[in-house]
Structures are given as C-alpha cells and as structure tokens.
Amino acid sequence: MKVHDYHDGNLELQERFQTKALADRLSQRVTETVDENQKKFIESANMFFLATCDHRGLPTCSYKGGDPGFVRVVSDRVIAFPSYDGNGKYQSMGNLLKNPNVGILFVDFEGQERLRLQGTASITEDDELLEEYPEAQFIVRVELTEVYKNCPRYVHKYQFVEASAFVPRAGQETPEPEWKKSGELRDLVAKKTRD
C-alpha cells in the first residue's frame, strides 16, 4: 500500500481540526493499482470528471461521457478512454500535452459511490484500442499513481434517465449538435465524414 504524501497545507488543516491520525490511517488505503471491484466500477461507468492543468498551472475540470465500458482498465496500473469530437478547443486534451498530470473522479450517483484516480496521461493517435471506439480521434492512456475510494457522504442520489444520442456508437450515425449548425459557427465547423 502506498502512503499518500501530504503537503504543508494539508498538514496545517489536519492539525487545526485534529484529523491527522484519521488522515494518516486513510492514506494507508491509497494504492497505485486498481483492484477487481474497482475495475468493475470503472468499466461500468458512463461518465467521469477529468481534471487537468494548463500551461499556467490553472486547473480545469471536464465531464467525459460515453456508454458503459468506454473507460477500459488495461492493466491494474493503466486505464484508457477515447477522445471524441468536441468543441474544437482541445482544452483538456491540449493541457495533457503541456502537463500530463490528471485527476479523475468516477461517481455513481445511483449507488452513491465515488472513486478517485491520479496519474500521468498520454495521447496516442495509433493506439490499438482506437478501432473499438467509433469516431474517436485518439486514445488517452493514464498510468496510475494513486487510486482510492472517497467518502460518499455528500453524493446526492440521482437516477439515470437516458443516454446521450451524441455518444458515438458502432453502426449508428451520430447526430450533429445544434450549436455546430448555428450561423455564427457553421462556416468554422467541418462536418464529420462517416463510413
């Protein structure tokens, strides 16, 4: 088991609120690998939150969604997911080219569970997994440095209603979002060519 490395800011607040012993105990649960239960949790997810930092060190957080199974646990130390066509800014993915450190948060709002991952990401345009994801531009692989369950106490319970029609699926044409059809942007958005 890996012991989480707390910095001065963490330690200052742990001392102030008398949680150092608790924090030390919880840090012993942090690992660098995904176990079988965590693998099932990750691979059943239809979304996650991805935190990246830009060239100035400023953080941003993005929602990434797909059908269950769109995130793969490639090994106990590596996960992979596709990058689909977005708004063309490549904010999160571009950040990875400058700073590959990422934070990933999986939340099951129905089961009220969450799992945190930290790691180092890389982008591969010729990844062997690419053919398994219709319309993916490239694959992101994350080499894990920290994996740990997080307290679900404040996770609100939500019910899944329906999957997005815009998630690329094999054998199905993905509709163009309305914002890409607007007059203001229409001349700048290249219509996707599909098989």
Say how far residue 189 (Cα) sits from the centre of its chain.
Answer: 26
Residues 6+ apart with CB under 8 A from 94: none
Residue with tokens 């904010």: 91
38 within 8 A of 150, measured Cβ to Cβ = no
Residue 22 has pLDDT above 80, yes or no: yes
Average pLDDT estimate for 9-36: 95
Residue 3 has pLDDT above 60, yes or no: no
Give residue 12's pLDDT band: very low, low, confident or very high (50, 70, 90): very high
Q: Which two tokens stand for residue 145?
A: 């440095």
Evaluate the CA torsion angle 142, 144, 145, 150 in order and state its sign: positive
Evaluate the CA torsion angle 132, 135, 136, 138 in order and state its sign: positive
According to CATH, the superfamily of the domain at 31-160 is Electron Transport, Fmn-binding Protein; Chain A (2.30.110.10)
Question: 46-50, 167-171, 174-178 — which one is most confidently predicted on average?
Answer: 46-50
Amino acid found at 80: A
Residues forming a β-bridge with 149: 115
Q: Where in the chain is the domain with CATH 2.30.110.10?
A: 31-160
Burial of 65 (0-12, 13-18, 19+ CB in 10 A): middle
Evaluate the CA torsion angle 165, 166, 169, 171 in order and state its sign: positive
Residue 184 has pLDDT above 80, yes or no: no
Residue 195 has pLDDT above 70, yes or no: no
Note the pLDDT of residue 193: 39
Residue with more model confidence, 98 or 181: 98
At residue 91, the 3 state secondary structure works out as helix
Average pLDDT estimate for 47-68: 96
Q: Which of 1-5, 113-117, 129-133 has the lowest mean pLDDT?
A: 1-5
Amino acid found at 161: V
The structure's pTM equals: 0.89
CA-wise closest residue to 170 among 92, 77, 69: 69
Residue 1 has pLDDT above 70, yes or no: no
Note the pLDDT of residue 4: 67
Separation of alpha carbons 171 and 69, rounded Å: 17
96 within 8 A of 140, measured Cβ to Cβ = yes
Residues forming a β-bridge with 116: 105, 148
% of the chain exceeding 90 in pLDDT: 77
Average pLDDT estimate for 147-164: 92
* Cα angle 180, 88, 175; round to 5: 40
